[in-house]
Amino acid sequence: MTSISSPLVGTIVRIAAPGTAVPAGGEVAVVESMKMEYSIEAPTDGVVQTAAVAVGDAVAQGDLLVTLGEATVTATEADDSGDAERADLAEVVERHAAGLDDRRPDAVAKRHGTGRRTARENLADLIDPGSFIEFGPLAIAAQRRRREIEELIERTPADGLVGGIATINADHFGEDGTQCVVASYDYMVLAGTQGWTNHRKKDRLFELAERRQLPVVFYAEGGGGRPGDTDWPGASWLDCLAFALFGGLAGSVPLIGINAGYCFAGNAALLGTCDVIISTEDSWVGMGGPAMIEGGGLGTFDPKEIGPTDVHVANGGIDILVKDEASATTAAKKLLGFTQGRHDDWTVPDPDLARAAVPANRKRVYDMHAVIDAIVDVDSALELRPDWTPGLITAFARMEGRPLGLIANNPLHLAGAVDHGAATKAGDFMQLCERWGIPILFLCDTPGFMVGPDSDAEGLPRSAGALFRIGGNLTVPFGLVVTRKAYGLGAQAMAGGGLKEPLFSVSWPTGEFGPMGLEGAVRLGFARELAEAGDPAAQEELFEQLVDTMYQHGKATNVASHFEIDDVIDPADTRRWVTRLLR
């Protein structure tokens, strides 16, 4: 005979009746204490002989509950009620499934009919398989006052924002990749608008990004703030946290924005906050959509008239233009990779390419892109804003797998002169490399800053000065390679402020240096001598002699002999200088 007592104070809510066969570990009684039910289990097989209490009785610790007589309990006598399906678990599984694409075939078909992918398809392509931890998948639109819960669950899953934490690029950077916050508005839910609940989800994700210092990749397509939500306190929504939180992340973690399709108002503001904006060709971005524009009395416009890609390519508002969302996602992964460290897989370009990249004729133009391709790892370069201010190239690339930012003059445009757009572009990219902690290589071939009333009217004095201000505060390592011309203040700006500011300043044999361009210096400095030379032929002969004299004085080897630069190098040796000194 075995006596079973209560281990705690409480009330009997269930007790086994005499004659009940109970297996070892089976339940003989349930005691409620502090609103919780505690199962009292049999220590051995047995049959209940007596029950000392009844349902509703109060018991103290140690009070007798039942006595068990010895018996062997077969499996058929055991209670198997625990095998029944759990209703609570089934509800959770069903709610999660409600937000998946395969539960919304009509919406997905409509989305695919536009040539675009769903939010979940984009995220699945972006992240490492199986790494996604979603936050807020059970959220619904804050419209309970105007719609039934069942409708909101079906039509507004995740409140139109799919987001969470996942890893990216594990195939290149180890099995764990890099943890990132990833998020995408879901255009299949209320046109990807910003609702009350998904604003709070963004707050949560951005706070996690700040706390854990995680990069953010954001698909921004959507129509801006949502006027139809009803279940929120307040009046203006102007105290929402998302914009300040997201803006506050700039400078501490990489922010990458992607857009395909319409992106207006608040969605556009978040896209514009990103460090780098990747856009598809079929993209329209504006600070207000058609309804907002018309509501402001500013006219009636089709959405495709608002901020098309050609406008933002021309004004520098798009960093990387791609064909479609798949290409945008690939670009985002490559771009993020520059913040993740060194690749182990890289290919060295043919060294003869560098030696032939700059023509021997000092007046013959060339494409600086050929120089870049000749010195960086094969297929590693990713240029930003290539169609805006083509006289200056900004790109990320790798050397021996290590990430590097490139700022290069392009002599195909204005002979590589630094105009207002080029100065702005260079300054923006220097600050981006500083924020992302990526070393910088300047490739200099410039006659200097662009001069003249038109250039000044664009605001060049201010943007030129900003280059010196930004360069003087860089903490990331940077180096200088002069491929041909290094003249005047523009060349100093392309060196972070002066030839002694970089960790190294070297030139290719084609390099030439001076306070201003040779031809201009001769015409200004020797105007009297040229005038006295006689006829035009004599003047031209003297001019060429003076230019050659100044060239000999300012050519790279002579400048190096005065130790104004660190060396004149074989172009094929450029990679060694960069990889050894900019680690």
pLDDT in tens, 517-550: 667 666 766 777 767 777 787 777 677 776 777 7
Strands 512-514 and 478-487: parallel
Six token digits for residue 108? 């997905």
What is the chain's mean pLDDT, rounded?
Answer: 92
**CATH H-level superfamily of 351-511+555-581:** 2-enoyl-CoA Hydratase; Chain A, domain 1 (3.90.226.10)
* Composition of the chain by helix, strand, coil, percent to 5: 40, 25, 40
As a residue count, the chain comes to 583
2-80: what fold?
OB fold (Dihydrolipoamide Acetyltransferase, E2P) (2.40.50)
pLDDT in tens, 419-451: 999 999 999 999 999 999 999 999 999 999 998
Burial class (CB in 10 A: 0-12, 13-18, 19+), 154: middle
The model's confidence at residue 176, banded by pLDDT at 50, 70 and 90, is low
pLDDT in tens, 153-162: 999 999 999 9
Which helix or strand (DSSP H or E) is residue 568 part of? strand 567-568
Contact predicate 484/512, CB 8 Å: yes
469 has pLDDT over 80: yes
Contact predicate 165/126, CB 8 Å: no
CA geometry: angle 238, 241, 242, nearest 5 deg:
105
Note the pTM of the prediction, 2 decimals: 0.88
Greater pLDDT, 381 or 546: 381
Domain ranges for the chain: 2-80, 90-337, 351-511+555-581
Specify the residue for token string 């610790």: 61
**Distance (Å, whole) CA 23 – CA 71:** 9
Q: Find the mean pLDDT for residues 59-69.
A: 93
Contact predicate 68/42, CB 8 Å: yes
CA dihedral 449, 452, 453, 457 (to 10 degrees): -20
Nearest to 479 by CA among 385, 577, 403: 577
395 has pLDDT over 80: yes
**Distance (Å, whole) CA 278 – CA 336:** 12
- Phi/psi of residue 518, each to 5°? -60, -50
Which pLDDT value is given to residue 70? 85
Share of the chain above pLDDT 70, in %: 95
DSSP-assigned states of every residue in 12-45: EEEEPPTT-EE-TT-EEEEEEETTEEEEEE-SS-
CA–CA distance from 158 to each of 217, 264, 401 (Å)?
A: 18, 20, 39
pLDDT in tens, 67-95: 998 888 775 554 545 556 788 899 899 99
Which pLDDT value is given to residue 301? 93
Domains 90-337 and 351-511+555-581 share a fold: yes
CA–CA distance from 192 to each of 62, 105, 184, 269, 312 (Å)?
A: 62, 18, 9, 14, 22
171 has pLDDT over 90: no
**Distance (Å, whole) CA 474 – CA 497:** 11
364 has pLDDT over 70: yes
Which helix or strand (DSSP H or E) is residue 49 part of? strand 46-51
Q: How many helices (H) and strands (E) does the chain have?
A: 22, 23
Q: What is the DSSP letter of 348?
A: P
Cβ-proximal residues to 581 (8 Å cutoff; 6+ apart), any chain? 477, 479, 503, 504
Which pLDDT value is given to residue 370? 97
Which helix or strand (DSSP H or E) is residue 393 part of? strand 392-399
**CATH H-level superfamily of 90-337:** 2-enoyl-CoA Hydratase; Chain A, domain 1 (3.90.226.10)
Determine if residue 175 is left, alpha or beta; phi over 0 gives left, psi from -120 to 50 gives alpha, anything else beta: alpha
153, amino acid identity: I
Which pLDDT value is given to residue 533? 76
Specify the residue for token string 């004095």: 461
234 has pLDDT over 80: no
173 has pLDDT over 70: yes
Which pLDDT value is given to residue 524? 67
Q: Find the mean pLDDT for residues 102-121.
A: 95
**Distance (Å, whole) CA 128 – CA 170:** 7
219 has pLDDT over 80: yes
In the 3-class helix/strand/coil scheme, how is 486-527 assigned residue by residue? EEHHHHHHCCCCCCCCCCCEEECCCCEEECCCHHHHHHHHCH
CB atoms within 10 A of CB 485: 27
